[in-house]
Structure 1
Amino acid sequence: MLSKSLLPNKGIILNDLKRYNWIGISYTLLLLFVLPLQIIMNVNKLEERTSYISNPFKPLFYFQGELQEFFILAIPVLTAIFLLRYLQEKRSVDMVHALPLTRVTLCSSHVVAGTLLLLLPVLLTGLLSWVMMVAFNLQAYYALSDIAQWAGTTILISMTLFLFALFVGMVTGTSVAQGILTYITLFLPVGLTVLVLSNVERLLYGFQGQYYMEDGNKLEYFTPIIRLFQLGFDEKMLQSSEIMAYLFSIVLLFGLAIVAYKKRKSEAATQAIAFDFLKPIFKYGVTFCTMLLSGLYFWEIQNDFLWAIFGYIVGSLFGYLLAEIILQKSFKVLASLKNYLIYLLIMAGLLAGFEADVFGYERQLPPVEQVEQLYIGEGGYYTYLRWREYAMEEAATAITEKENIEKVLQLHEAIIQNKTYNENAQSYYSLTFAYQLKNGQTIYRSYALPEASYDQYKKPIFESIEYKHMQFAIFNVDANDVERIVFEPQGISKKAVITDRAHIQEIITILRQETEDESYEQMRDDNMPWARIELWRLVEEASPEMTYRYGVDQSYRSDGKQSYEIMHLNWKKHYKELEQWLQEKGYWQDARILPEDIAYARIVKTEAEKEWVDPKLLPGVEVTKPDELEACLQQLLGRPLYAVSQDENYRIIFYNKNDGEILSGYLKQENVPLLSAW
């Protein structure tokens, strides 16, 4: 049987509830505003809202989401601060500790009082939400289980924040420090990880922080603050493993708070940190974080290593002095700078180690015989992630042939050897490598490379059938799933819609063959495509957002009865077999813009700063002959290629009979008709 000295004290609990009942009342009113009241308001707009939201009542975190999240984040911490307010003042702490009660009893009593202040408002709000569900016949939109899920999640996160703030209050000596350190510490796992990886990304060539931040690590799960902001999405609700983790955290934090309270000295009141052994951790933690933040800032602004070093020194010095001032409650802290110099020497050694690549990270390349498969693609981590997710869903391919692996490794080796040249590029693109080794390890690298560089290495890789099958989703389309194919020409409101099953099969076969036959130069040309090709595939449910899967854009559309996934491709001008097929089948007239769709075109020589000037106000020539209009359409570029200098190019604008602009682009100088007219 537990001793009475270890159990919560009824008098302390009632006193806390009497003094701080305003917290519970305020919390109740706030929750009633963001949930039951919003439900009533949405009942009257049900038909209007369901036109763009399939279920306006689910999840319940959707209602006034930002306000809900703010209240859940603020009220528990505020409750802990007020309940421990007496600990942070010397007179009150001595008076309370003079009572014939153990510290365990005091702590457990505060926990019970805080739990009631946080629990009862949530339960009352959930009860009223259930009453309204029954009263307004909203069972089709949300159920008792949804209310229970909302209430349970709110209670779990609130109690975790409350007990965490309570524990922080035991190791700090001021209420201000308790509040600030609570949120800082909760953000620390994510914030420190981002800071460290962002700095390492600058120090190690080929390292990309996003890969380590997001690739299976799920940093948001390490802090309830970030996790809370995801609860407005149904698929992001707490999983059973997370619920168990929160329950364990609640028990652990309660135990830690009791232990810290028992060890805490009464004279720690008004001190920033109550325990001596935590003071060095606080001091050098602040120093390290401000150093990383300042160094990253100067690196981003100046893009120069020397400026980054300056930032590291200034930031670390500022953080060290600030921490000392807080701990000593005095500005006379210069005498402690000798310890800072030791810290600076350690950091200098660490920085030199990164710059020298002492662990060989930058030079690491796997032997070809150890590579099971690899990915290579232009773009950063998210491009790779989209390919990997698509590969998991629809068995997209990777590069596995030894000959192609060797070519990729040769390209990778050339990039490593030209590190200085690559880093000094003014304009660049990203190239990503991901090697899946036979031992299960993944080697991931991403580089910013100068435009039009390493073409001699990339050409045989990009032209390989294996690369194209990996990179372009047309090879993963099942023609039997495609309901229709739509050709939408550039610049004009007409379209060719193809629903014949045999024709759909033929088009997909031709598109695959055209893609396999593309040269590296054709893959990279700037010619404006004839039309956008849409492949409509029937799906169970349409999503509202536009997504991207490697090689194609993808959108979703619903007509109220059926939902479609739409894959967007381009009809490129060098797809001659597709062009011939469209002519033979009679789709040609509607599939692309033709000279008869155009009244005339105007070509102007414009400088970069005059790109947005009305072309009719600039000197130029007009093109009206059908054969010349067709030639211009054939040579039309999607972006400017500077003809004479970096400041001018040839722009062409096509007009209809009403003098309205229907299409514009650019021409190379040698393709401009009537050039002598200038």
Structure 2
Amino acid sequence: MSRILPFYRNLLRRYRGSAFFYGALGFISLPVQYLLAILQNRGNPMDTDWISWTFTGPAMIYNGFAAFFFTALMLVAPLIMAANLFSYLHSKRAVDVYHALPLTRAELYAACCKAGITLIWMPLIFNFLLTALFSLMLPGASVGMILLELLCWMVITLSIFSITAFCAVQLGTDFDTVIFSLGLNGVFAAVYLMFIMLADGFIYGFSASDSVMRFAYRLSPVSLMIGRIALSSDSSAEYIAENNVSMLAWLLISLVVLLAGCWRYLYRRSEQAETVGEMGPLQVFMRSAASLLGGTGLGVILCAVFDVQPQENHFLSLFCIAVGSVIIYFIGDVILTRSVRSIPKALPVAVLTAAGVCVAVGAVMFDLFGIGRWVPAQEKVDEAKLYYYESRFSEQPSLPGQDPSVIAFEDPEAVALVIAAQQTQIDWHDKGETTYYGGSLRISYDMQDGRTVTRRYSNLAPATLEQLLKLEVDDELVTQQHPAFAADAEMIDGVSITNLLGNREEILSLSREQKESLLSALREDLLDQPLEELSDGTLGICTLSINYWFQWESDEYFERHPDLDPYTYATSRTLLTESYDRTLALLREFGAESSLENDWSTVKAAYAFPFNRGYSQNTVSQTNLDRVIQTQEDIQIFFDDRE
């Protein structure tokens, strides 16, 4: 330690100008912006919404200017600092001078790393301490979160510095160091996302879950910090906790990379300075990754140019990708060797690399791992979530506590039905059926091992719909989707009954006790409705309309927005059939007997219009429709047949 201290101090003196420069830019980009935003809004201390409008990040300290410029500065600074400190390795004269010093290579490496990290961290700490000081002027600001943000930035800058140092000790020029550092900082996230996109395009039913996409951005220190800044103090605690854990992981990775760089430096040849085009382990890895990413992208472009459909012609698509990989490999080789003369020599390696790319991409194209046919074992599923937009309650309003877009099943029998529907759809697809039926379905499984697996299907087979129909009478679906289960008597603002023909309507005036009785009866009838009424069809009697009046957000939200009306209306309409005996009996008791009668003798003709729910939920288009006219006799025959 005593031997490297003078050299360490000398490095600090030599590069202190860079530290002051980065500190000044950081001062303008973060503390000054934070202070100006506070001063601009001090005139209205009661309105705290401007904080969420102005700042972002868990610590709420970045305005738009800081989020861009401060982030860019702190992501670039460690790369430049590391490249400068280790630039002596890329000069034949300088490397001989440095290696002649009374220091071992490990001591040289340690001194450069310590100096670089010090020069980056000192201005960073200064700017964040100023920001924390300014936050005392802002009620509700958290100094602890600001200091946590500082620690995260220290980890990210250390990660980028360690990766750049790792590249510098294995390459011969500053240019190669910068290029390889940029690539290594993002290559794992890029490769991961590329395979996710390939799977989404070629594997039947594959759909990346939210957890899969969140894992992708944690594979790079750059995207990890950008993703953190995109969060806010109101973001899910799970997301912030995941980001914090990822920071700890990258801290450990940085230390390992620093040690690996030191180990590689011990075996570095001094003659490697100013050399280009060498094929060490790092070079082989980065060339292969570039060929995989660039070759696949270029191959997709070639498919588009020559009108090749990748989903229909896998082998021709792989040929285009192979050609793209060879081209990308040659381009990279020319850049790294600074000469086109290396192309003939690189041809065998380029072909071998392209073959590897084709194997990797082909494994996804042909689904060699059976991902598209995967269905879970029922006993390994904790919860199955169904995103099914054509359920019988799709057009019912949602009250507070309800999510109309998802239905969660925990009952083993319901989970088994979801799995059976998925298996039916897969089997139908494997038979090569091409008939278009429409419809879409997304399934998300929460597995007992903590994984979340998502599948998405379109053009649902009739047999799949038959499986899904059985879930329409499941207690979990009914209680989660119908507003009667989230309402209470206080929410009911009005009740009306309309007969099936629509020519009789009665508005009921009910007491609180009657409203409670009506809700209770309706809930029981909804849960007891037989499946046969949905599968075989039945004649309705009347439509029960309940108008709900409820608070649509929390009290805290309206305390911040006193100018908004906290209450809103929503109307639920439920078709009552003969199975709704409790509800119908209550309605007769309430005096709505006349609205439960339908005089079919008054009907002269009926008009049937095709209706596409996917096109519009409220409008029936009458363009190019075949109008069907039935006489009164035809209608009576129709209903007689239904009976």
- Normalising by structure 2, we get a TM-score of 0.69
Residue in 2 that maps onto 1:276:
280
Q: Distance in 2 between matches of 1:271 and 1:501?
A: 89
Residue in 2 that maps onto 1:292:
296
Q: Distance in 1 between matches of 2:278 and 2:12?
A: 25
The secondary structure found in structure 1 opposite 2:412 is coil
What aligned pairs does 1:324-343 form with structure 2 within 5 A after superposition?
324-332=333-341, 333-343=343-353
What aligned pairs does 1:126-525 form with structure 2 within 5 A after superposition?
126-133=128-135, 136=137, 138=138, 140-210=139-209, 213-214=212-213, 218-229=215-226, 230-231=228-229, 232-234=231-233, 235=237, 236-237=239-240, 241-242=245-246, 244-271=248-275, 276-295=280-299, 302=309, 304-306=311-313, 308-332=317-341, 333-346=343-356, 348=358, 358-365=368-375, 374-378=384-388, 397-401=409-413, 408=418, 411-419=421-429, 428-433=438-443, 444=453, 446-450=455-459, 453-454=462-463, 457-458=466-467, 460-466=469-475, 468-469=477-478, 472=481, 474=483, 477=486, 479=487, 484-485=491-492, 503=515, 506-507=518-519, 510=522, 513-514=525-526, 517=529, 519=534
Contact 1:483 1:537 in 2 (8 A): no
CA, structure 1 residues 244+667, in 2 after alignment: closer, same or farther (shift >3 Å)?
A: same
Aligned-residue sequence identity (percent) comes to 16
Contact 1:221 1:227 in 2 (8 A): yes
Cα shift at 1:105: 3.5
The secondary structure found in structure 1 opposite 2:491 is strand
Q: Residue by residue, what CA displacement relative to the aligned partner does 1:530-557 show, whole Å, maximum 9, x if unpaired?
A: 8985654775754xxxxxxxxxxxxxx6
CA, structure 1 residues 176+579, in 2 after alignment: closer, same or farther (shift >3 Å)?
A: farther
CA, structure 1 residues 574+299, in 2 after alignment: closer, same or farther (shift >3 Å)?
A: farther
Root-mean-square deviation over aligned CA pairs: 5.3
Contact 1:488 1:533 in 2 (8 A): no
Q: Distance in 1 between matches of 2:112 and 2:276?
A: 22
What aligned pairs does 1:615-630 form with structure 2 within 5 A after superposition?
none
CA, structure 1 residues 80+536, in 2 after alignment: closer, same or farther (shift >3 Å)?
A: same
CA, structure 1 residues 508+254, in 2 after alignment: closer, same or farther (shift >3 Å)?
A: farther
Q: Distance in 1 between matches of 2:215 and 2:282?
A: 28
Cα shift at 1:289: 1.9
Contact 1:474 1:511 in 2 (8 A): no
Q: Distance in 2 between matches of 1:449 and 1:261?
A: 55
Aligned partner of 2:61: which letter? F
Aligned partner of 1:266: which letter? S
Contact 2:59 2:142 in 1 (8 A): no
Mind listing any 5+ residue stretches in structure 2 that lack a counterpart? 395-400, 497-507, 593-601, 631-643
Residue in 2 that maps onto 1:660:
none
Residue in 1 that maps onto 2:113:
111
CA, structure 1 residues 413+112, in 2 after alignment: closer, same or farther (shift >3 Å)?
A: closer
Q: Distance in 2 between matches of 1:371 and 1:462?
A: 17
Matched, 1:571 2:577: no
Contact 2:59 2:145 in 1 (8 A): yes
The secondary structure found in structure 2 opposite 1:171 is coil
Residue in 1 that maps onto 2:61:
61
Aligned partner of 2:477: which letter? K
Q: Residue by residue, what CA displacement relative to the aligned partner does 1:166-199 show, whole Å, maximum 9, x if unpaired?
A: 3233333333333333333222232211111221
CA, structure 1 residues 671+32, in 2 after alignment: closer, same or farther (shift >3 Å)?
A: farther
Aligned partner of 1:220: which letter? Y
Q: Residue by residue, what CA displacement relative to the aligned partner does 1:86-114 show, whole Å, maximum 9, x if unpaired?
A: 33344443444444443334333333332
CA, structure 1 residues 60+579, in 2 after alignment: closer, same or farther (shift >3 Å)?
A: farther
Q: Distance in 1 between matches of 2:80 and 2:537?
A: 63
Aligned partner of 1:313: which letter? A
Q: Which moved more, 1:316-325 or 1:272-281?
A: 272-281
Cα shift at 1:427: 8.0
Contact 1:486 1:498 in 2 (8 A): no
Contact 2:548 2:571 in 1 (8 A): yes
Matched, 1:122 2:124: yes
Residue in 2 that maps onto 1:31:
30
Q: Distance in 2 between matches of 1:298 and 1:521?
A: 52
CA, structure 1 residues 9+367, in 2 after alignment: closer, same or farther (shift >3 Å)?
A: closer
CA, structure 1 residues 276+637, in 2 after alignment: closer, same or farther (shift >3 Å)?
A: closer
Cα shift at 1:317: 1.8
Q: Distance in 2 between matches of 1:456 and 1:374?
A: 17
What aligned pairs does 1:46-57 form with structure 2 within 5 A after superposition?
46-47=45-46, 50=49, 53=52
CA, structure 1 residues 81+349, in 2 after alignment: closer, same or farther (shift >3 Å)?
A: closer
Mind listing any 5+ residue stretches in structure 1 that lack a counterpart? 384-388, 490-495, 543-556, 588-626, 643-647, 652-665, 673-678
Residue in 2 that maps onto 1:547:
none
Aligned partner of 1:79: which letter? M
CA, structure 1 residues 465+219, in 2 after alignment: closer, same or farther (shift >3 Å)?
A: same
The secondary structure found in structure 1 opposite 2:169 is helix
Q: Distance in 1 between matches of 2:269 and 2:517?
A: 79
Q: Which moved more, 1:43-52 or 1:573-582?
A: 573-582
Cα shift at 1:336: 3.0
- Normalising by structure 1, we get a TM-score of 0.66
Q: Residue by residue, what CA displacement relative to the aligned partner does 1:612-643 show, whole Å, maximum 9, x if unpaired?
A: xxxxxxxxxxxxxxx99xx99x999786989x
Residue in 1 that maps onto 2:622:
650
Q: Distance in 1 between matches of 2:516 and 2:174?
A: 69
Aligned partner of 1:484: which letter? M
Contact 1:192 1:289 in 2 (8 A): yes
Aligned partner of 2:335: which letter? I
Q: Distance in 2 between matches of 1:245 and 1:441?
A: 19
Q: Distance in 1 between matches of 2:125 and 2:362?
A: 57
Aligned partner of 1:118: which letter? I
Q: Distance in 1 between matches of 2:337 and 2:142?
A: 56
Q: Distance in 2 between matches of 1:560 and 1:379?
A: 33
The secondary structure found in structure 2 opposite 1:59 is coil
Q: Distance in 1 between matches of 2:452 and 2:142?
A: 47
Contact 1:81 1:178 in 2 (8 A): yes
CA, structure 1 residues 79+639, in 2 after alignment: closer, same or farther (shift >3 Å)?
A: same
Residue in 1 that maps onto 2:75:
73
CA, structure 1 residues 317+257, in 2 after alignment: closer, same or farther (shift >3 Å)?
A: same
The secondary structure found in structure 1 opposite 2:39 is helix
The secondary structure found in structure 2 opposite 1:62 is coil
Contact 2:211 2:452 in 1 (8 A): no
CA, structure 1 residues 455+224, in 2 after alignment: closer, same or farther (shift >3 Å)?
A: closer
Aligned partner of 1:61: which letter? I
